[in-house]
Amino acid sequence: MTSTDASPTRVDPALTGAMLIGGSAVHGGAGEVRAVDPRTGSQLEPSYGLGGAAEVDRAAELAWAAFDSYRHTDLETRAAFLETIAANIESLGDALIDRVQAETGIPAARVLGERARTCNQLRLFASVVREGSWLGVRIDPAQPDRTPLPRPDIRQRRIPLGPVAVFGASNFPLAFSVAGGDTASALAAGAPVVVKAHEAHPGTSELVGRAIQAAVRQHRLPEGTFSLLFGDGPGLGAALVRHPRIKAVGFTGSRTAGSALVVAAAARPEPIPVYAEMSSVNPVIVLPGALAAKGAELGMALIASVTTGVGQLCTSPGLVFLPAGDGFDEFVTAAADAVCTSPAAPMLTAGICAAFTEGVDRLAAIEGVTAVARGAEDATIASAGRAGIFVTNAATFLADPTLHEEIFGAVTVVVQVTGSEQLREVVQRFDGQLTATVHAAPGDHDEARRLLPLLELKAGRVLFNGWPTGVEVGHAVVHGGPFPATSDSRTTSVGTLAIDRFLRPVSYQNIPAELLPADLADDNPLDLPRRVDGRLGRH
């Protein structure tokens, strides 16, 4: 028996340094990790014991034991469970906000916004669960008198794949982490979740994990519905992906790590899907009319987008393509001025900061690339990120593949393009992207019309007259794209369509009425939207 009460459960904000394996708190013995405040470089308490093969096996087996019961929860119970997770996260109050800041250096205002996004998407998936169209019910009633052959009764619905492994991201400690979009969509689909926490914010992960654990208890769900593990990626992470009880993977992070998980999952005796969001430079194209009309304004707006989150966003615009001519100099000058006045800010970790510095140095060493401006230095910040802007031309961009690679941080490259043919050649050379942006005045629309068919082959989201940072969580958004932006271009990790990743269709032929699941019953007792004999409706 389960409860549908979605009121919050009190979660103790005191940190313990423990993993959460089902209903138990477990201190791992395979080493330890402490979070580091990127603002000061100081270590934070407590230390977190890392797990190994035994902890992976325990969590995965509990998830498998929970799967059959959890996937059969009624829709209202499952929706209320998601809502309780959101309420529990909110009930943590300042303890959560303060810990996120200490572990990431993210300002309080953004942490509050990210908490709201995290809780809102949990509630959004609760509404999706209740509405029911995600079940994909289709019914082709029997036609025994059809000639030359009768048609059997065939009914279809979608069921969850099984337990899902979720990898927390470094740059969104709430919205792409323990209770982020991968976890929310998997739980909504009816799949238990085992989260591998990101080592940079273990305290944040423990607090949110205990909010989920408390919701599992409140709704009397099987304990293996959720587990939280700490451990190193190549060791514990790979063991989790290889475990036979895990049936799908959600990942946000680097191309190197995501590709390694894809290889590991494909090498299993039973290969499983890995939905990895990995790498994107999010090109921006400014067409001549837009550049001539507001070159300086667009230059300043570019840097505002580039420096959002110290550039540590998967949608940060790392490449900008401008035509030679009116407005070019004004754009570059305004962007350079904005960079020069951009203060240094803490990056998420010392490792991310070092990789950013190496990437900028590598960029500056490329022949034909000119450094235009760098942001202010600040020796008081342990892992300080400084914004930067560089300029090159299309010939250099086309000749050097390293200019196509993501540098994770607040840096962008302005590429001067000569003519429409060269612009289309550049676009055709793009790797797969999460986003592609076009700035166009009305007089640019003929050129934009020719670009759109090219851009939709390269990106999951095409924007006009805006900036890619900031992803709306809703029904129509796509946060995905062709490789290397993601490992599966057919999916999205943000928005309600994300639930599709963890479902598969099953057909039921000539099943006796008394044996049919409720969502396939003739009288539609769940009042689901269904396609019956080709017609969509609630019948």
| Residues with catalytic roles | 277, 314
User: Could you give the CA distance from residue 289 to residue 534 in angstroms, rounded to a whole number?
Assistant: 48
Nearest CA to 121 out of 203, 182, 196, 212 is that of: 182
Which amino acid is present at 405?
E
CA 229 and chain centroid, separation? 19
What are the C-alpha distances in Å from 446 to residues 423, 456, 510? 14, 16, 55
Cα dihedral angle (224, 229, 234, 235), rounded to 10 degrees?
A: -80
Closest alpha carbon to 415 in 283, 279, 225: 283
Answer for the pair 411, 302: CB distance below 8 angstroms, yes or no: no
Q: How many CB atoms lie within 10 A of CB 150?
A: 10
CA dihedral 243, 221, 229, 207 (to 10 degrees): 160
Q: Are 271 and 487 in contact (CB under 8 A)?
A: no
Which among 145, 96, 101, 185 has a CA at the least distance from the CA of 503?
185
Q: Are 436 and 459 in contact (CB under 8 A)?
A: yes
Nearest-5° Cα angle at 135, 278 to 211: 60
Handedness of CA 217, 219, 221, 225 (dihedral sign): negative
Helix axes 94-104, 108-131, angle to 10 degrees: 120
Per DSSP, 431 falls in state: P
Number of neighbours of residue 39 by Cβ within 10 angstroms: 17
Q: Produce one character per residue of 86-103: b if its CB has 16 or more CB atoms within 10 Å, e if not.
A: bbbbebbeebbbebbbbb
List for the chain the helix, strand, coil content (%; round to 5): 40, 20, 40
The DSSP symbol for 349 reads -
What is the Cα Rg of the chain in Å? 25
Taking the CA atoms of 60, 64, 66 and 71 in sequence, report the sign of the dihedral they define: positive
Between the CA of residue 302 and those of 143, 263, 336, 388, 402, what are the distances in Å? 61, 36, 10, 12, 22
What is the Cα–Cα distance from 421 to 32, expressed in whole angstroms? 55
